Chain A
Amino acid sequence: DAGVTQSPTHLIKTRGQQVTLRCSPKSGHDTVSWYQQALGQGPQFIFQYYEEEERQRGNFPDRFSGHQFPNYSSELNVNALLLGDSALYLCASSVLQGWETEAFFGQGTRLTVV
């Protein structure tokens, strides 16, 4: 079992650019959530996808958007990058069948905006 996999592991972008991060959930999982973790802080919930729709959203601007594919994999898109978007972006997957199971996290994508 490959667990939750994220790509790329590291990325450097210029302010104003757009970025797409990818996540493959753990086998058998159908729900994907994204987190942003700034240096020295705990992860902050961005949004959650289930059945290809955004199910829950945290306090993040519309520049942050996502997508879930029929195979349950997911993308996180960030437009008009700001220096403050530099962070570790984490993906977590779980199963939602009436109730949601424990979440498994990927290793994250380290985004640096210069």
Chain B
Amino acid sequence: RKEVEQDPGPFNVPEGATVAFNCTYSNSASQSFFWYRQDCRKEPKLLMSVYSSGNEDGRFTAQLNRASQYISLLIRDSKLSDSATYLCVVKKGNTPLVFGKGTRLSVIA
């Protein structure tokens, strides 16, 4: 089983739609969780950290379910500029970050 698994997509949604991405991780000792965003032919950049109680940043909401080892990212009111690949990332202790393969989102006008 892969350490971090994501649905590769692509998710094709119209502008204004709400879209949710899911991610599962296999190592129950994982302690830190993140979503990174990668635009086409660009480097990944941190979108947001994921906290146990869930957290929101504008149109983006991240949730963590430790019991199910599951992370989600919800994007409301999708914009064309949200089109990108979203990478689920987990970390345990002092070990390097582990990246999922990413979920591709295309927002269509």
- A and B bound? no
Interface residues of B (CB under 8 A from A): none
Interface residues of A (CB under 8 A from B): none
